[in-house]
A and B are shown apart, each in its own frame.
Chain A
């Protein structure tokens, strides 16, 4: 298995532009999580899906952020318009089922820089 795949690995964009981050979870994993990592705030859970349905989006910072999971093998996190304070590493993670003790498998992350 190739693991959780995120693209792009690095993204540099100008303030005001739209940014789309992509994630392919491990096949068969029913749960998908989006995290943001910054020095100041550590790892923050943004949103998670179960069977492609958003379950909890209370961590999404504001309306500029949106996430979708159109099918079991693909999810996107979109920021429109982007701002410099959105600069962070964004991680996607997946888990095989409802049993919380499985832990997550993380992707390698997307490092976003908004200038």
Chain B
């Protein structure tokens, strides 16, 4: 069975500071990994995904995540956050053996002025 652990339920960070949102997964098979973002009162949107190949994946708005197989992690980073990044971020895992995507409980990112 697969599982996802997001280690922080909330992360406060000052505007223009760097941020890292942590995600660890558990799976006995090869995985696909995702980060979704949920802005207030909206549905989830796919931010980026790791399928295979390069372990560093990037989104169009400056976020990046690195797949680390040995540490079973897929942490999300941004070198400089903006107030518009205020949202909840969900890490998720899937595999080629399961139709379902398993979501973590989310990390709420608070941008401080």
Cβ-defined contact, B99 with A104, below 8 A: no
Count of A-B contacts with CB under 8 A? 54
Cβ-defined contact, B104 with A104, below 8 A: no
Cβ-defined contact, A42 with B43, below 8 A: no
Interface string of A86-112 (1 = CB under 8 A from B): 000001010000101101111111000
- Min CB distance B5 to A, Å, is 12
The distance in angstroms between the C-alpha atoms of A42 and B108, with both chains bound, is 12
Cβ-defined contact, A55 with B90, below 8 A: no
What are the nearest 4 A-B pairs in CB distance? A106-B43, A42-B105, A100-B94, A43-B103
Main SS of chain B's interface residues? strand
B51 / chain A contacts, CB cutoff of 8 Å: 101
Question: Measuring CB to CB, which residues of chain A are less than 8 angstroms from any residue of chain B?
Answer: 4, 31, 33, 42-43, 45, 48, 50, 55-56, 91, 93, 98, 100-101, 103-109
Main SS of chain A's interface residues? strand
Using CB atoms, name the residue of chain A closest to B47: A103
